[in-house]
A and B are shown apart, each in its own frame.
Chain A
Amino acid sequence: MTHPLVLPTALQLQLNELIIGLFLLTGFGMTVARQIQATLFGFIAQSLLLAASAFVLGVHPVSPHLLALAAVTLVSKPILIPFVLQRLVPREVYSKRELTQRVSITTSLMIALALAVAAYFFALPLLRSGAPLVSVGNVAIGFAGLFVGLYQVAARNEAVAQLLGILAMENGAFLAAIAIAPDFPLIAELAIAFDVPLLALIVGLLTRALHEYVGSTDVGTLVSLREDAGH
């Protein structure tokens, strides 16, 4: 049984396209932002855009699943996660500027751009052979968001920035999910919405422990566990 594809209006589609374009840009912004606070703002913006995309696509024809997803995302990601992080991670971590990234900011931006373009090429054969979707861009930019988030985890040295990279990857995956599985059962969505702030909670606790016991949250310098380092 295939679901008949009811198309939303052209205005909705264009608005959605704009939202996902901005989604990708916030992904870039998170990767290159120097200040931790700026990275967090980028994440909040990206999560808001994710909720907006679900909302725009779910308004007409009315899809309760998508609207519920929008609401759930809205509560858990832009609101709960920053709340959790602000409470857990000591204030001084936020005011830090990450002065040493492994790759300079301009180069990082270019790499992230290249990854986004690569994600498009990656998603094309999938789109051709898969079932027709309401919004094709969601899948492509979802993949792009995943790759850019992955790059962020690899390129950033700060603990909170890496955590936000992981969350950005999940944002990308769920952006794709909006298009691929718009009627995904509510239970799963609730569970996921619960799961993500829990993630932030636990990694936040870990970051706090790092700050307390190791003295800094610059996790890029934690490389002492090796075979040859006799500690």
Chain B
Amino acid sequence: MLKALLANALQIAFVVALAPLYAGFLAWLKERFQSKRGPSVLQPYRDLRKFLSKDEIISEQATWIFRFAPWIAFATPIAVTMLIPVLTDFPLFFAFMGDMLAGGFILGLGGFFGVLAAVDSANPYGAMGASRTRMVSFLAEPVFIIVFFTVAFVADSTIPYIVQQHWVHPFSAFFSPSHVLAVVAFIMLILAEGGRLPVDNPTGHFELAMIDESKALEYSGRGFALAKWGGWMRFLVLCIILANVLFAPWGLSSDVSFVGLASAVAAIAVKLGLLITLIGVIECSVAKLRLFRITEFLAAAFAIAVVAMITRAFSL
């Protein structure tokens, strides 16, 4: 019992601590691909320390939403972490609190408050970015849902832990179209929801073109640190879902021993490393899509997800 609690806490600590490193690694990798030296991988930690020690300036027109939104953005990925298999492949304490659909909703909650806060600050760029983020999110919803349906068809359940156990059981199922195509659709989804190219440029500073970055535009000091950290954690959580549940559910520890957990940490580091290299390559090879073509991008993801679902549902 205590061990399970310890494992759970370790899981959360893992995600919280690793998120900035993940973002830092991606930034460094992208710069490297472009033949530059790149910032230090630990830079996000230094940024966080800097921002946490600074004062916050809040507009007089802002309401309680503005103050609370960063906390919510920080807390929701943590809540989702408790639902998904990060280090262990048996269900931990809160695993049955909600399934994948609930996980999606919780993440959506964080995004919703972020958008409200952006509008709350009365910054015109905030409102513009907020509406665009909403557009991307609502277009990505059907893809999420269809991927969940596919997964549910295969595993007869939507609890991530159970799905992970069923998904690639006979090895040949690894190549099944429902698997491969669901993974492809989910990767496209991560690019969209995580604010990565080709949907949005995370390193751009041009407010007129910002989609996801505009949520953190008005924040400073602690609020900014929390908002940023929450964003990185959200990205990490999505990647963990992909890596551990959908794509390669191997290498997770089956018990709460030190050796097991350590090897799980190593395994997930490898998997995430591969995934982030893939995302880095994608980001460095495509140009940002024009706004109305984002619908086509997400429609393509939707089509892929639907094909994944129908090949599963009808070919048997």
A25 and B311 contacting across the interface, CB-CB below 8 Å: no
B172 and A10 contacting across the interface, CB-CB below 8 Å: yes
B170 and A17 contacting across the interface, CB-CB below 8 Å: no
Q: Is residue B295 within 8 Å, beta carbon to beta carbon, of the partner chain?
A: yes
How many CB-defined contacts (below 8 Å) exist between A and B? Answer: 73
* Complex alpha-carbon distance, A10 and B173, angstroms: 9
Q: From known contacts A14-B175, A105-B296, A106-B295, infer whether A21 and B303 are also in contact, taking CB-CB under 8 Å.
A: no
The interface residues of chain A lying within 8 Å CB-to-CB of B303 are: 25, 28, 109, 112-113
Cβ of A35 to closest chain B Cβ, rounded Å: 13
Per the 8 Å Cβ criterion, residues 141-186 of B in contact with A are: 170-178, 180-181
The interface residues of chain A lying within 8 Å CB-to-CB of B296 are: 32, 105-106, 109
Cβ of A13 to closest chain B Cβ, rounded Å: 8
A21 and B307 contacting across the interface, CB-CB below 8 Å: yes
* Complex alpha-carbon distance, A113 and B172, angstroms: 27
Q: Is residue B10 within 8 Å, beta carbon to beta carbon, of the partner chain?
A: no
Q: Is residue B29 within 8 Å, beta carbon to beta carbon, of the partner chain?
A: no
Cβ of B125 to closest chain A Cβ, rounded Å: 27
Interface string of B47-79 (1 = CB under 8 A from A): 000000000000000000000000000000000
Per the 8 Å Cβ criterion, residues 8-48 of B in contact with A are: none
A136 and B307 contacting across the interface, CB-CB below 8 Å: no
B295 and A120 contacting across the interface, CB-CB below 8 Å: no
Among A24, A110, A117, A136, residue most surrounded by chain B Cβ atoms (within 10 Å): A24
Q: Is residue B299 within 8 Å, beta carbon to beta carbon, of the partner chain?
A: yes
Option from A21, A105, A113 in Cβ contact (under 8 Å) with B177: A21
* Complex alpha-carbon distance, A24 and B172, angstroms: 21
* Complex alpha-carbon distance, A113 and B309, angstroms: 12
Q: From known contacts A17-B176, A18-B175, infer whether A140 and B299 are also in contact, taking CB-CB under 8 Å.
A: no
A113 and B306 contacting across the interface, CB-CB below 8 Å: yes
Q: From known contacts A24-B307, A25-B307, infer whether A109 and B300 are also in contact, taking CB-CB under 8 Å.
A: yes
* Complex alpha-carbon distance, A18 and B315, angstroms: 11
Closest to B306 in A: A113
The interface residues of chain B lying within 8 Å CB-to-CB of A22 are: 177
The interface residues of chain A lying within 8 Å CB-to-CB of B176 are: 14, 17-18
Cβ of B281 to closest chain A Cβ, rounded Å: 20
Query: Which secondary structure dominates where chain B touches chain A?
Result: helix
* Complex alpha-carbon distance, A120 and B307, angstroms: 11
The interface residues of chain B lying within 8 Å CB-to-CB of A137 are: 311, 314-315
Per the 8 Å Cβ criterion, residues 108-156 of A in contact with B are: 109-110, 112-113, 116-117, 120, 124, 136-137, 140-141
* Complex alpha-carbon distance, A136 and B311, angstroms: 11
The interface residues of chain B lying within 8 Å CB-to-CB of A116 are: 307, 310
Q: Is residue B238 within 8 Å, beta carbon to beta carbon, of the partner chain?
A: no
Q: Is residue A1 within 8 Å, beta carbon to beta carbon, of the partner chain?
A: no
Per the 8 Å Cβ criterion, residues 56-115 of B in contact with A are: none
A120 and B314 contacting across the interface, CB-CB below 8 Å: yes
A106 and B299 contacting across the interface, CB-CB below 8 Å: yes
Cβ contacts A to B, 17 pairs, < 8 Å: A11-B171, A11-B172, A11-B175, A14-B172, A14-B173, A14-B176, A17-B175, A20-B311, A21-B311, A32-B296, A105-B296, A106-B296, A109-B299, A113-B306, A113-B307, A117-B306, A141-B311
Hey, which bits of chain B sit against chain A, CB under 8 A?
170-178, 180-181, 295-296, 299-300, 302-304, 306-308, 310-311, 314-315
Give me 8 other A-B pairs in contact (C-beta within 8 A), A17-B176, A32-B300, A106-B295 excluded. Answer: A9-B172, A18-B175, A106-B296, A106-B299, A109-B302, A113-B306, A136-B315, A141-B311
